[in-house]
Amino acid sequence: MEQHHQYGTESDADTAMSPGLISPRDVEAVPNPRDKNGLHTPLLQRKKTLLPDANYSVEQHQAMIGANVSPIESLDYELIENELFRQDWRSRTKHEILEYVFLKWTFVFLLGLLTGLVGFGINMAVENIAGAKFLATTKSMSASGFMPAFLLYAGSNVGLILVSSLLCVYISPAAAGSGIPEVKAYLNGVDTPNIFSLKTLFVKVFGCICTVSGGLIVGKEGPLVHIGSCIASLIGQGGSRKYHLTWRWLRYFKNDRDRRDLVTCGSAAGVAAAFRAPVGGVLFALEEVTSWWRGPLLWRAFFTTAVVAVVLRTGMAWCKGGSCGLFGEGGLIIFDVEGVKSEYGLLELFPVVVLGIIGGVLGSAFNHLNSKIVLFFGAFLNKRWRSAKVWQACLIALLTASISFGLPWFAECRPCPEHKIGQYPIGAECPTHGRAANFKGFHCPDGTYNDLANLFFNTNDDATRNLFSTGTPGEFRKSSLLIYLGASYFLAVITYGIAVPSGLFVPSILCGATYGRLVGMLMTPIAGDDRLDEGVYALLGAASFLGGSMRMTVSLCIILLELTNNLRMLPLIMLVLLVSKTVGDSFNDAVFDIHVQLKGFPFLDAHPEPFMRHLTAREAIKYTPVTFNAVERVGTVVDVLTTTRHNAFPVLEENGAVLCGLVLRYHIMVLLEKRAFLDHSDDSYIEKKPALTSSDFAKPGSGKGMRIEYLHVTPEEREKYLDLRFVANTSPYTVVETMSLAKAFTLFRQLGLRHLCVIPKKSRTERSPIVGLLTRHDFMPGYLHEQHPLLR
């Protein structure tokens, strides 16, 4: 359920103003006559994308998947009704239905189990690699001084990022980035090859481990969402076809609907594994990722994330000995701010609102700057050699390492607090030279600590923990927080979008928590010691940045609660999210929506754009459809399939007077490949007791269709006939040509169609019973504005 607030509200306003505020046009589109300026220039500029061809082309069915441009295809959720599939339905036994239900639950159980294990493994690996890195650097620092330590630190970071970006660029470009835009697009009905392949999964897992332990300002939540979806898709396909790891049980799952459901559960499981937030995961999938949501799915996603939670908890119990590093501390709560003073007066609402405004401004600025930088580098790098992307990643890694090692080096050492305060168990020690701690020694002498190193010279998780730590007032200087805020914001802006797996949650939480804590410190002279804890301010700051950048509401609320375990903060978190989302929405779109659009996905919003009310369905049709007769010559069919790229063809009966149905390209391909030919044009294939069953027509996994070029048809076979009635969808959804495009869009989007038939208004006098077909690309604002430039 996406949240295009700007569009949402607008089109909201439009659809809702009165029972029927729609204006179909029977004639050509004319702009609003009162608008004098809009007459000769296109009124809505097409948005830029990362695709190499800057002009939006009708025939351009491709998008930026991860780091590379790939072809895309639409998914189809329409039910096909005809003799063939009816027979199959009749022949299904109770046992088969039971088997299906059993498999469905087994699959989500497996999904939860595997996602939980992978999430656990990633955490473990990151903790151990990063831990070893910090230990070695600290040792080298005390033994040999700045330069060797820096070289060791920067070298290991750059090395890790090099591995990650090499994997991404040369092995599986689809694994680059967070993957959330790709998953969102898939669940909106846009399929791409390799996006959920086994190779992508492996690269994503190992790349994510390297990237996060390599010290970049990135998180592992976005990649985990992609990983969860990959696992789901692979389970749904019964393993990887390429590596011959398939199961025969799959016959029940060879359709887009079941795969969609599994992938939705997978994205929920990914968030659950990343934040140890089972309910937050379900809500994230619901609010941010999916486009269609069904009641039973909530229940299945809930089950999946429950399994993830149990797996993680078991893993943590197993880790109790300490062998897993900090992972496992605090059980399922990662950043605990429980037990702090939860009373707050009306005076404290003011800084909370201020935080919301800061979050809205900084968050939307982040979206804007990041999209500009991604576009700039995209235009620059896509035209050049592939290794440029590797260089870019390594340079950013080097920059990050220099900043995070260099800046603390020049910071002043601060004396340790006299009383060991803080509920955080490790905070009692000062200074520490180990891994995560509240009071990092870094290069400081005994009895003093380096507050910048607390933030910079730490994993992102531990830096967040330090920012959230309660009962440690005055741990950071204001200047340190300011420096860290600037550096992390800058690094986050330039990092998201490079060719490594990277998530956006952790950078947002880091930036937000920093200025949140700063605002909390500034409140001390005003509110005195009776104010909220600095850790709570950090939490609210994190909420504000997330709200300002990602624009989610309920799911962020629950994820933050599950991260920090303080339900009494709920009203404050809600307030801060409301303010920051409102402020952010007044500037630009949510970050994932911006990236979906940058990557050029033909994404269908929940609502039609207002200008679509001024067009009729007929006006959006690109060309007269290529039709077939009910029984068509094989040669004709092969020629049409070879010369066009259409995926569906209307089938006409009775000399073209009656629309028999709609036939899909891959169903014709199966007929051709199985040689299901007739000798005469007046035969009927169904009367011949065909050997083909509906399972022969089951849809293969993503991007694995047959291609007409590889099919050999002999000249004798070309003279035979194909009975297309056998596979045609005899009752496709139709709309009348005078319907406004907005209304047709609603039907298309709500039912998840791939093709929508447009029928003539005056059927008796029209030449053909079908005017044309509408597909996803015909509803894209970019295309429509090119066709009707004067439309507003």
Interface residues for a second copy in 313-342 (CB under 8 A)? Answer: 313, 331-333, 338, 342
Nearer to a second copy, 40 or 764 (CB): 764
Burial class (CB in 10 A: 0-12, 13-18, 19+), 552: buried
Nearer to a second copy, 123 or 392 (CB): 123
Question: What is the C-alpha to C-alpha distance for residues 722 and 668, in angstroms, rounded to an integer?
Answer: 9
107 is an interface residue for a second copy by CB under 8 A: no
Question: What is the C-alpha to C-alpha distance for residues 195 and 213, in angstroms, rounded to an integer?
Answer: 24
The stretches of 276-348 forming alpha helices (DSSP H) are 278-284, 295-319
294 is an interface residue for a second copy by CB under 8 A: yes
Chain positions 168 to 207 lying near a second copy, rule: CB under 8 A, are none
Considering only CA atoms, which of 593, 529, 523 is closest in space to residue 371?
Answer: 593
22 is an interface residue for a second copy by CB under 8 A: yes
Residue 415, preceding peptide bond in cis (omega within 30° of 0):
no
Nearer to a second copy, 450 or 729 (CB): 729
Question: What is the C-alpha to C-alpha distance for residues 644 and 315, in angstroms, rounded to an integer?
Answer: 54
Asked if residue 581 lies in contact with residue 574, where contact means CB atoms within 8 angstroms, the answer is no
127 is an interface residue for a second copy by CB under 8 A: no
The stretches of 145-220 forming alpha helices (DSSP H) are 146-166, 180-188, 198-213
As measured in angstroms, the least distance from the Cβ of 60 to a second copy is 27
As measured in angstroms, the least distance from the Cβ of 545 to a second copy is 18
Considering only CA atoms, which of 592, 645, 792 is closest in space to residue 35?
Answer: 792
741 is an interface residue for a second copy by CB under 8 A: no
As measured in angstroms, the least distance from the Cβ of 727 to a second copy is 9
Stretch that binds a second copy, among 161-169, 276-284, 350-358, 713-721 (CB under 8 A): 276-284
Among 29, 117, 522, 574, binds a second copy (CB under 8 A): 574
Nearer to a second copy, 507 or 661 (CB): 661
Question: What is the C-alpha to C-alpha distance for residues 188 and 574, in angstroms, rounded to an integer?
Answer: 28
Question: What is the C-alpha to C-alpha distance for residues 385 and 392, in angstroms, rounded to an integer?
Answer: 12
Chain positions 75 to 94 lying near a second copy, rule: CB under 8 A, are 79-82, 84-90, 92
Cβ neighbours for 463, distance < 8 A, ≥ 6 positions apart:
454, 455, 456, 510
Question: What is the C-alpha to C-alpha distance for residues 695 and 92, in angstroms, rounded to an integer?
Answer: 12
C-beta atoms surrounding 678 within 10 Å: 17
23 is an interface residue for a second copy by CB under 8 A: yes
Question: What is the C-alpha to C-alpha distance for residues 467 and 386, in angstroms, rounded to an integer?
Answer: 39
First-residue to last-residue Cα distance in the chain:
26
C-beta atoms surrounding 194 within 10 Å: 19
Stretch that binds a second copy, among 38-46, 48-56, 697-705, 775-783 (CB under 8 A): 697-705
568 is an interface residue for a second copy by CB under 8 A: yes
Chain positions 624 to 683 lying near a second copy, rule: CB under 8 A, are 654, 657-659
Among 275, 302, 335, 628, binds a second copy (CB under 8 A): 302
Stretch that binds a second copy, among 12-20, 129-137, 166-174, 204-212 (CB under 8 A): 12-20
Question: What is the C-alpha to C-alpha distance for residues 303 and 297, in angstroms, rounded to an integer?
Answer: 10
Stretch that binds a second copy, among 369-377, 511-519, 595-603, 736-744 (CB under 8 A): 736-744
39 is an interface residue for a second copy by CB under 8 A: no
432 is an interface residue for a second copy by CB under 8 A: no
Question: What is the C-alpha to C-alpha distance for residues 515 and 540, in angstroms, rounded to an integer?
Answer: 10
Stretch that binds a second copy, among 219-227, 411-419, 672-680, 692-700 (CB under 8 A): 692-700
Chain positions 758 to 787 lying near a second copy, rule: CB under 8 A, are 761-764, 769
Among 210, 742, 770, 771, binds a second copy (CB under 8 A): 742
Among 242, 251, 420, 704, binds a second copy (CB under 8 A): 251
Among 58, 199, 239, 258, binds a second copy (CB under 8 A): 258
- DSSP states of 551-577 as a string? ---HHHHHHHHHHH--GGGHHHHHHHH
Rg of the chain (C-alpha set): 29
Among 168, 282, 559, 604, binds a second copy (CB under 8 A): 282
Nearer to a second copy, 599 or 743 (CB): 743
The stretches of 382-477 forming alpha helices (DSSP H) are 387-409, 451-456, 460-468
Stretch that binds a second copy, among 47-55, 479-487, 673-681, 724-732 (CB under 8 A): 724-732
Asked if residue 73 lies in contact with residue 63, where contact means CB atoms within 8 angstroms, the answer is no
Nearer to a second copy, 490 or 733 (CB): 733
Nearer to a second copy, 97 or 526 (CB): 97
Query: Helix axis angle, 505-527 relative to 349-381, nearest 10°?
Result: 150
587 is an interface residue for a second copy by CB under 8 A: no
CA distances from 651 to 246, 614, 658, 726 (A): 35, 30, 9, 11
As measured in angstroms, the least distance from the Cβ of 127 to a second copy is 22
Stretch that binds a second copy, among 117-125, 493-501, 642-650, 745-753 (CB under 8 A): 745-753
Determine the size of the site formed for a second copy (CB under 8 A): 117
As measured in angstroms, the least distance from the Cβ of 278 to a second copy is 6
423 is an interface residue for a second copy by CB under 8 A: no
Among 204, 220, 389, 581, binds a second copy (CB under 8 A): 581
- Does residue 238 come out as left (phi exceeding 0), alpha (psi in the -120 to 50 range) or beta? left
Question: What is the C-alpha to C-alpha distance for residues 548 and 354, in angstroms, rounded to an integer?
Answer: 13
As measured in angstroms, the least distance from the Cβ of 319 to a second copy is 14
> What letter represents residue 660's amino acid?
C
Among 739, 756, 771, 780, binds a second copy (CB under 8 A): 739
As measured in angstroms, the least distance from the Cβ of 428 to a second copy is 21
Among 306, 375, 482, 626, binds a second copy (CB under 8 A): 306
70 is an interface residue for a second copy by CB under 8 A: no
Asked if residue 431 lies in contact with residue 448, where contact means CB atoms within 8 angstroms, the answer is yes
Question: What is the C-alpha to C-alpha distance for residues 611 and 711, in angstroms, rounded to an integer?
Answer: 44
109 is an interface residue for a second copy by CB under 8 A: no
Question: What is the C-alpha to C-alpha distance for residues 651 and 351, in angstroms, rounded to an integer?
Answer: 66
- DSSP states of 581-607 as a string? HHHHHTT---HHHHHHHHTT-----SS
Among 128, 746, 768, 787, binds a second copy (CB under 8 A): 746
Considering only CA atoms, which of 790, 609, 740, 782 is closest in space to residue 22?
Answer: 740
Among 46, 257, 386, 646, binds a second copy (CB under 8 A): 257
As measured in angstroms, the least distance from the Cβ of 181 to a second copy is 17
750 is an interface residue for a second copy by CB under 8 A: yes
As measured in angstroms, the least distance from the Cβ of 339 to a second copy is 8
Stretch that binds a second copy, among 46-54, 282-290, 375-383, 480-488 (CB under 8 A): 282-290
Nearer to a second copy, 390 or 556 (CB): 556
Nearer to a second copy, 526 or 567 (CB): 567
Stretch that binds a second copy, among 16-24, 162-170, 478-486, 530-538 (CB under 8 A): 16-24
Considering only CA atoms, which of 500, 507, 426, 502 is closest in space to residue 461?
Answer: 507
Nearer to a second copy, 512 or 769 (CB): 769
Q: What is the DSSP letter of 289?
A: I
As measured in angstroms, the least distance from the Cβ of 577 to a second copy is 8
Asked if residue 184 lies in contact with residue 596, where contact means CB atoms within 8 angstroms, the answer is yes
> What letter represents residue 437's amino acid?
A
Secondary structure class of 381 (helix, strand, coil): helix
As measured in angstroms, the least distance from the Cβ of 12 to a second copy is 6
